Amino acid sequence: MIHQKNRNNQISNKKHSVELRKSGIGLVVLSFILYGLILLIPFVSFSTGIKVTISTVLVVLGEISFWVGGIILGKEVISRYKKFLNPINWFKRDN
């Protein structure tokens, strides 16, 4: 009986861990989407003040999303993805 409860608890913890990891990745992806939306701001027909406000909100939400996702995922995952996203590393050959 105790063994079964312990096993169910381990399965529950693994499931929770996978869901937490997926939400962390989702937050990091969301941050890139929010930053990408900033590129569309000059093409909308709002006043300059509203465009500045929208851009500021997108930057703040993007930063919050990235850092919360980074905290959830951990330092190792974020540093690995930063290496892939750095344009300097795109054309380097691994020897």
pTM: predicted TM-score of the whole model, two decimal places: 0.69
The answer to whether the CB of 40 falls within 8 A of the CB of 19 is no
Q: What percent of the chain has pLDDT over 90?
A: 46
62 to each of 5, 31, 50, 55, 70, how far by Cα in Å?
Answer: 41, 4, 18, 10, 12
What are the tens digits of pLDDT across the range 23-32? 998 998 999 9
**Phi (first) and psi of residue 78, to 5 degrees:** -65, -40
| Cα dihedral value 85, 89, 92, 95, nearest 10 | -90
